[in-house]
Amino acid sequence: MFDFLSQTLSGEPPTATTGQTAQLDWIWRAQGILELSPHHACDRAVVVSAGIHGNETAPIELLNQLVSELLSGLLPLKVRLLVLLGNPPSMRVNKRFVDADMNRMFGGRHARFCPNGETGRACELEQAMALFYHTSSAAGAIRRFHYDLHTAIRGSLHVRFGLLPLQGRPHGAEMLSWLDAAGLDALVFHRSPGGTFTHFSSEVFQADSCTLELGKALPFGSNDHQQFVGIRHALEAWVSEAPLLERQANTPLKRYRVTQDIIRSQEAFQLHIPADALNFTPYPKGFVIAEEAGKTYRVEAAEEYVLFPNASVAVGLRAGLMLERF
């Protein structure tokens, strides 16, 4: 049985692109795109992705372990499952991306960029997801889910957290319970649409979707997987429909909502968040977050928390988020 990660990093397709075990059928759809189906009928179609940013290796290793357990028969498969390793070229060179940030390209936004490897791959991933959900519905799998696994560029006061896309319907109670049991420290609720993979799957396919941020970006082989035991067990339970373990974290799951999107609209942009500030660092009312000609971003609530501050993003992109607890 092939090693999914090694095969993807090699750039070559496996000798056989379809196969069968005692419990499942598998199809290698394309590089880093693997579909697994149980031999029995099921009502869930689950997409789990990682490596949209190629240097975020812990989730990639986590998914490779999950695939190995399923293909070896150590873990039963009870759902239709699509596993995506998003950006193999950037994975090979341990970079966030090669030409442009793919997680700004979904929902057709890749057409706004100069054509490159990432724009083509974003389109390919959208098509792979569409095919999977379509064939799953035809097979009776009517409940759709998508978990996109990442790690953060900088350290965080919450090591494991989820980001939920803006959507016009309530977030699924089953997914929210799963996120709690997985031991996440916090959930962040978006207030505006975006080009992320999970916003695409939520908006276009009405999937219950969540972006999971798990620790900090490190090279392959350097990750402390003890930090991710909760999410690994939760993923194993999710695809095998085993009972979820009770939440092991000592503190309850915290919830935040986005209050401000900090957009860099000019070259002369100043971000006043220190370079070593951790995600979820709090700032008091009136603190000047960022400045550019004609625009000043200040903390408007009694206290707001910073997330993903990055002064070096391209003009027109988001340089950070400000949050409030609720």
Which residues are annotated binding-site positions for Zn(2+)? 53, 56, 150
Alpha helix locations (H) across the chain?
A: 4-10, 57-72, 88-92, 117-138, 173-181, 197-205, 229-240
Count of beta carbons in the 10 Å neighbourhood of residue 176: 18
53's CB contacts (< 8 A; 6+ apart) are 86, 87, 90, 96, 97, 101, 102, 103, 150, 217
Residues within the annotated binding site? 53, 56, 150
281's CB contacts (< 8 A; 6+ apart) are 157, 273, 305, 306
Cross-strand partners of 258 = 323
Q: Which residues participate in catalysis according to the annotation?
A: 213
